[in-house]
Homo-oligomer: A and B are copies of this chain.
Amino acid sequence: MCVDRRAALMQSYLMVKGVLLDVSGVLLDGDTVLPGAAECIERLESAGLPVRFVTNTTRQSKRQLAQHLRSHGIEVEVNGLFAPAAAACAWLKKNGYAPHLLVHPDLEEDFAECLASGPCAVVIGDAAQAFTYDSLNAAFRKLQRGAPFLALARNRTFKDRDGLLSLDAGAFVEALEYASGTKAILFGKPSRDFFLAAVESMGRHADDVVMVGDDVESDVAGALQAGIGAAILVRTGKYRAGDESQVEPPPTAVVASIEEATRLILGMSADGD
């Protein structure tokens, strides 16, 4: 980011009062932690900024993800971790539906408290190898018979363990929407409700909060559209050159990493760095 733009940005957002962090591609790169990630969170919290983790990753349960972060020195309370399954569960309970799950086997535990029988709603996440013709067709047939359609995310891609981009849940959401004519209800980012639940848990106003992510659609444009004050795109994870020009509104800032994002945020929160 050029100095001028950064300066202008800092002037506009001098009082950041809370931070939302994406996990995969911002703190983690596949299974490994990105340099300085744990220290960045400590610095933000030491500066009095509450931090919440907002992830669309659905290949792990919330418990597994928290454990994984802790194993990398990133202390996270379960209440500070926002993942789409919990929001979908709340919807299912409120509306009296049992989930027909098209999700990764590791995510199933997050639906343990839902109804086991009764009218069903199709719930789709990043099921990975559990996406087969037969599992997709079974979900399609439920939708055809009128089942509601709950999408935990609609991200296009994620950075896979081999360093390349891979298909994320969004592709399969699109496939089922196209064939069934049923529009999915989205529970993860960029759902406004999802962002705002994390913001409210900090006792902050959305426009005093900054979001940091590597997905220019879900994390950046999505956050800004939800009313989040600023959104920083990091050039790690799934970021590819030119991503920042693909969306409207564009990122508030584009930085190299969580470390640079942290420096920028601390400057934004304390009248200059």
Q: Which of A125-163 contact B (CB under 8 A)?
A: 127-134, 136-137, 140-141, 144, 156-157
Whole-angstrom distance between the Cβ of A182 and the nearest chain B Cβ = 12
Whole-angstrom distance between the Cβ of A106 and the nearest chain B Cβ = 15
Contacts of A166 in B (CB 8 A): 137, 140-141
Judge whether A250 is part of the interface by a CB distance below 8 angstroms.
no
Contacts of A172 in B (CB 8 A): 175
Q: Which of B127, B144, B167 contacts A175 (CB under 8 A)?
A: B167
Judge whether A206 is part of the interface by a CB distance below 8 angstroms.
no
Are B179 and A157 closer than 8 Å at their CB atoms?
A: yes
Instruction: Count copies of this chain in the complex.
Output: 2
Are B178 and A170 closer than 8 Å at their CB atoms?
A: yes
Judge whether A176 is part of the interface by a CB distance below 8 angstroms.
yes
Given that A129-B133, A129-B134 are contacting pairs, would A164 and B141 also be in contact in the complex, using a CB cutoff of 8 Å? yes
The chain B residue sitting closest to A130, CB to CB, is: B133
Interface of A is mostly: helix
Are A167 and B129 closer than 8 Å at their CB atoms?
A: no
Contacts of A164 in B (CB 8 A): 141
Are A176 and B165 closer than 8 Å at their CB atoms?
A: no
Whole-angstrom distance between the Cβ of A158 and the nearest chain B Cβ = 10
Contact with B along A45-88 (1 / 0, CB 8 A): 00000000000000000000000000000000000000000000
The chain B residue sitting closest to A140, CB to CB, is: B167
CA distance A235 to B243 in the complex (A): 47
Are A175 and B171 closer than 8 Å at their CB atoms?
A: yes
Given contacts A129-B134, A144-B165, A171-B176, 12 further A-B contacts (CB under 8 A): A127-B133, A128-B133, A131-B132, A133-B167, A136-B167, A140-B166, A141-B165, A156-B178, A171-B175, A172-B175, A174-B175, A174-B178
